[in-house]
């Protein structure tokens, strides 16, 4: 029982790390550009994952199929991180975190329906409608003009959720590889590709940044990525995908709460109602989501 309690504590702490990534990204957006964030963040994440390999006694060996998939997922990760960063920069971090983390599995489900050409049962249709209604409730769609629904922040967040969904589907095709090893190569290729193609250090040297930047940057790269990812995978191995995936429902609440504390954002009733609606939807659709959680799936 004590071991379970400790594991629940560490899993909750990992979800806290993921939730904190949204307000921290908002803070960092005043210091560096999106592609500087991608390169700097994932190079530090890649380096800090090396001790994890030693601690877990993992091998760096990877076959060609998984290597190609890691490159593809790494490209999706670049665009996801860029879009998630811009979405928080031009919108509220709390709503952004809640919106993307609840919208991602819904998009995965829709893409699976399209790819398999399989009609869901009535219960699934109702759950899907509830999830979409929850997302629209979060952004108070009834107060918008048509053009406001597709404002710059919402568009960035929608594309971010789509990129993550595509990453999840691509990850499901990887075989016979430890999720930590796969994550290492994804972060490595994301770093190398972004540095080679997109990187432009227009913000100056990060070594001249202040303590606020360094605290946020290190936490985002190490706490929200290296630590949270490793703990999540260990938790999934111990608890199983059904119990482990339940912890991800904490992420939007942490994103909202930490944005209130760190950024002074306000909490509105529609956001809470919308999050609860989407979580209720996901619990019904969970049997589809679990299939991806059983595979190696990286988290941010």
Please state at what angle helix 93-116 crosses helix 251-263, rounded to 10 degrees: 160
Sign of CA dihedral 82, 253, 231, 216: positive
Instruction: Domain count for the chain, please give it.
Output: 1
CA distance 15 to 133: 25
C-beta separation of 293 from 233 below 8 A: no
Tens of each residue's pLDDT in the chain, 300 residues: 446 678 888 888 998 999 899 999 999 999 999 989 999 999 999 999 999 999 989 999 999 999 999 999 999 999 999 999 998 988 888 878 877 887 887 787 777 777 664 566 777 777 778 877 887 787 666 665 555 556 778 788 889 988 988 888 888 888 888 889 999 999 999 999 999 998 888 888 899 999 999 999 999 999 999 999 888 888 877 776 556 667 777 888 888 888 888 998 887 787 788 888 887 877 776 654 434 344 444 444
Is 300 inside any structural domain? no
Is 299 inside any structural domain? no
What confidence score (pLDDT) does residue 295 get? 43
Is 232 inside any structural domain? yes
What confidence score (pLDDT) does residue 150 get? 62
* Closest among 180, 168, 197, 198 to 85, alpha carbons compared: 198
Name the token pair of 294. Answer: 């059983």
* Closest among 234, 101, 226, 116 to 168, alpha carbons compared: 101
The dihedral over CA atoms of 176, 179, 180, 183, expressed in degrees to the nearest 10, equals 110
Name the token pair of 299. Answer: 């988290």
Is 196 inside any structural domain? yes
What confidence score (pLDDT) does residue 24 get? 95
Is 65 inside any structural domain? yes
Alpha carbon distances (Å) from 116 to 111, 209, 214: 8, 49, 45
Is 210 inside any structural domain? yes
Is 13 inside any structural domain? yes
C-beta separation of 295 from 69 below 8 A: no
What confidence score (pLDDT) does residue 294 get? 41
CA distance 191 to 284: 37
C-beta separation of 10 from 214 below 8 A: no
pTM, two decimal places: 0.83
Is 280 inside any structural domain? yes
Q: Which domain holds residue 45?
A: 2-293
CA distance 254 to 18: 8
């Amino acid at each position: 029982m004590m071991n379970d309690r400790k594991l629940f504590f560490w899993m909750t702490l990992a979800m806290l790390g993921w939730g904190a990534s949204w307000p921290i990204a908002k803070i960092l957006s005043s210091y560096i550009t999106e592609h500087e964030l991608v390169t700097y963040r994932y190079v530090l994440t890649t380096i800090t994952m090396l001790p994890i390999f030693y601690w877990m006694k993992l091998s760096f060996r990877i076959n060609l199929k998984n290597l190609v998939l890691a490159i593809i997922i790494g490209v999706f990760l670049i665009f996801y991180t860029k879009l998630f960063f811009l979405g928080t920069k031009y919108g509220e971090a709390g709503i952004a975190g809640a919106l993307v983390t609840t919208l991602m599995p819904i998009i995965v489900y829709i893409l699976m329906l399209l790819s398999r050409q399989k009609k869901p049962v009535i219960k699934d249709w109702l759950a899907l409608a509830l999830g979409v209604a929850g997302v629209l409730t979060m952004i108070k769609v009834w107060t918008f003009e048509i053009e406001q629904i597709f404002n710059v922040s919402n568009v960035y967040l929608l594309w971010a959720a789509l990129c993550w969904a595509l990453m999840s589907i691509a990850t499901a095709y990887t075989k016979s590889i430890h999720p930590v090893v796969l994550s290492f190569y994804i972060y490595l290729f994301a770093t190398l590709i972004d540095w080679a193609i997109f990187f432009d250090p227009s913000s100056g040297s990060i070594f001249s940044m202040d303590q606020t930047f360094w605290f946020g940057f290190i936490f985002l790269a190490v706490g929200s990525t290296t630590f949270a990812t490793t703990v999540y995978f260990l938790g999934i191995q111990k608890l199983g995908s059904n119990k482990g995936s339940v912890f991800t429902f904490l992420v939007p609440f942490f994103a909202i709460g930490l944005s209130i504390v760190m950024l002074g954002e306000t909490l509105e009733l529609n956001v809470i109602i919308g999050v609860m609606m989407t979580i209720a939807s996901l619990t019904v659709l969970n049997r589809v989501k679990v299939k991806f959680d059983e595979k190696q799936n990286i988290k941010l």
